[in-house]
Every structure is written in structure tokens, then in C-alpha cells.
Amino acid sequence: MAKKKLNAIQRGFVQKVVRTYRTASLDSVLLLAGILPLDLRIQEAAAIYEIKKGFSQRIVGDRVVETRVPYNNKVHPSEREETEYTCLEDCAELPNSIINIYTDGSKIEGTVGAALSIWDGAVETKTRKLKLDNCCTVYQVELLAINAATNIALATPGNYNILSDSRSALQTLADPDDTHPLAEEARKNIRRIKTRGNTINLYWVKAHVGITGNERADALAKDAALKLKKKPDYEQCPVSNRLCGISPSLQA
């Protein structure tokens, strides 16, 4: 009954949008207008709300929609610390006694990749490439790259600088109340690294100004996106990608 009322409401204005005859069916005018039926739009909005609030672990095909970490699973507010980052001046020198990990991500020609370039002094000692599902966003890939850098720092004790040209990703990490799963995991890694007595610093660097490590990470990320053939290291659909995660019936 409710669906019939919604259809009756929608049919009138969609017919005016496409300037068709009053006898045209609702399905045909919706198709011409490129508009979702109201009942599906309501379901979509409800699903997005549930995912954002962490109430849903919706699976679409072989993909999982990225969900926020439930607030009660986070560290108690009294124990949270801000994860600060520093804006580094162009080409400023970093201490040679600390290992520098440059991170970057790329979404190019519909493919997505991330990379890490690890430097000990003036020498690149190691690189790592990561592959993401094509539905992932640049924001996700930048967060994944930083997260991977914290994993390396946690696995191999030492003092580290992590350098990224994504201020949005670093700002997410700096917000102790943000519940993005990649940011939350990175913050936990950073706390564990500091607890054992090691140093880990986060830096924002300006892209494409001649910083060797950053340029190297950028080239590796593009190469990972275009050429890396492997199962994605991260394939959760962002909530913002509706066709990827919310309305599979419309993808035929």
C-alpha cells in the first residue's frame, strides 16, 4: 500500500521531468530520467545510515561495505591521545638516525594502488606495493598506505618518520574520535610503538616539489595501480560509492 502511494507521488513529477505522456508507465519514465524509485531510494538511505553508525555489516556480492568502528570498541575517552602530525617545509631535511617511510596512493584509469618507499639516510632500502579494489577511493588508499607504514614500524622495532602528502588522511589520524577502521588500527599501532619506547613521527609533505622519497612513492603507487596483478589487499567498498555497495539491483 505504501509503495503504491509512493509510486503515485513520484510518477507525476517524473513525467513532467521527461515531458512524456500521462499514460507512460512509471518504470519507463524513471529509466528515462535516471531516477531511483522512491522505495529503493529510502532503502538506500537507510542502509547508508546504518553503515555510518556501525549498525550494519552489509555484504554485496563478494564485497563488504566499509563500516566504522563501534564507538564502544574504541579506547576510553580518558585514555585517548591526539596523534599529532607536523607540516614539513619543502625539501626540509630529516634526522639521518631515523628511518623515513614515504607513503602515497594513486587512482588512475579506474585502478587503485598504494606504495611505501623506505629510506635509511640517503638510501632507499625497501619498497612495498599494495593493491586495492577498483571501487576504493583515494582517501582510502592514502589511509591504507599510512596504516601499512605503522604495521612495518610495529613489526621492526626502531625509530620512524612516516611522511604522506595527504593532509585529509593525516587529519583523520589526528582526530581521536574518528572511527574509520584504517585510522583506528593505525592509532593502535602508534600507541603500541610508543609504549615500548620507540619514536614514531607523522609528517605532511607537499606533493610534486622535488622531495625524492615522495616522488618515488608516487611513482610506485601509480605502478601498483596500473600493473600490480594480485588479490586486493583492501577491498571494502566506501559508503560514498552507492552503486558499489548499496544498490546492486540497479547495476544490471
State the Cα–Cα distance between residues 2 and 163, nearest whole angstrom.
54
Question: Could you tell me if residue 72 is inside a domain?
Answer: no
- Model confidence over 2-18: pLDDT tens digits? 777 777 767 777 777 77
Same domain for 136 and 100: yes
pLDDT surpasses 50 at 246: no
Q: What is the pLDDT of residue 226?
A: 96
| Residue where the block lists cell 639521518 | 96
- Model confidence over 199-244: pLDDT tens digits? 999 999 999 988 999 999 999 999 999 999 999 999 888 866 554 4
Question: Could you tell me if residue 71 is inside a domain?
Answer: no
Same domain for 213 and 159: yes
Same domain for 121 and 51: no
- Model confidence over 86-143: pLDDT tens digits? 998 755 667 666 899 999 999 999 999 999 999 998 899 999 999 999 989 999 999 9
Question: Could you tell me if residue 74 is inside a domain?
Answer: no
Name every residue whose Cβ is closer than 8 Å to that of residue 191 and which is 6 or more positions away in sequence. Answer: 75, 81
Same domain for 98 and 41: no
Q: What is the pLDDT of residue 44?
A: 66
In total, how many domains does the chain have?
3
Q: What is the pTM of this model?
A: 0.73
- Our CA angle for 151, 156, 159, nearest 5°, is 95
Domain residues for 244? 37-66+238-252
